[in-house]
Chains A and B, each alone.
Chain A
Amino acid sequence: QVQLVQSGAEVKKPGASVKVSCKASGYTFTSYDINWVRQATGQGLEWMGWMNPNTGYAQKFQGRVTMTRDTSISTAYMELGSLTSEDTAVYYCARVLSGGWSDEWGQGTLVTVSS
C-alpha cells in the first residue's frame, strides 16, 4: 500500500535549519508531486510548496525553504532555514494528484524551535 514515512521529531535553536525527510513506498515515486504542509499547534493547515522535481514555494517561505528529492531512495526532503519560534509546527509531506489534491499524507514531523 502507499505509504509516506517521515523522519522523527527535531528540536532546533533559533537561527538554525532543519531538514525533514519523507520516504515513499507502494507507488512510483517519480510519477507524483509532493506537497509540504505545516500546522502549528492548535492552528490550521498551511501549504508551503510542492516539488516534482520542479519546485514551487509559497511566497512566505521563499528564500528560506528548499525542497529536493532523491529518486534512488524514493525520498523527498524539505529544508527550512533561519528558524524562529513561529516555525514550531508539525510538518507534513503529502502525495499530490494531478488536480492538486493530496490523497496520501505522511505521519507528520514535529519541529520545535526553542532556545
Chain B
Amino acid sequence: DIQMTQSPSSLSASLGDRVTITCRASQRISSYLNWYQQKVGKDPKLLIYAVSSLQSGVPSRFSGSGSGTDFTLTISSLQPEDFATYYCQQSYSTPWTFGQGTKVEIK
C-alpha cells in the first residue's frame, strides 16, 4: 500500500496568513494527488484534484502543487471559514490511501 504522510499534523495561524501543508507519498504517484477539507461533523469536501486543479466553487486562495512523491496545498490568505482539517489522498493505486490529516486552528 502507498503510505501518505502529511506535515504538520496541526498548525495555528492567523487570519490573512499564508498556510502550507505538505504531503509525501511512499512511492511515485504521478499526478494522482487530491486534497479534501473537512469541518467538524461534516463530510469531506473536494478542494483540489490531480495535484493542482481547483474543484468548481472552491476559492482561488487554495492552490496545489508538486510532483512525484512530494505535494503541497497552499492557502494564500487564511479566512475564517478555512479552519478545518485537510487530507491528501492518492488515487494512483488501490487502496486509495489518505494522509493522517492536518488540523488548521486559529492562533
Contacts and interface: CB of A to CB of B under 8 A. Distances in A.
A35 B50 CA distance: 17
A99 B49 contact: yes
B34 A101 contact: yes
Contacts of A50: 94, 96
A60 B97 CA distance: 12
B43 A92 contact: yes
Contacts of B100: 44
- Interface residues on chain A, size class: 20 to 34
Nearest to B49: A101
Interface in A51-74: 56, 58-60
A44 B9 CA distance: 11
Contact of A58 (B34, B36, B43, B94): B94
Interface of B: 1, 32, 34, 36, 38, 43-46, 49-50, 55, 87, 89, 91-92, 94-101
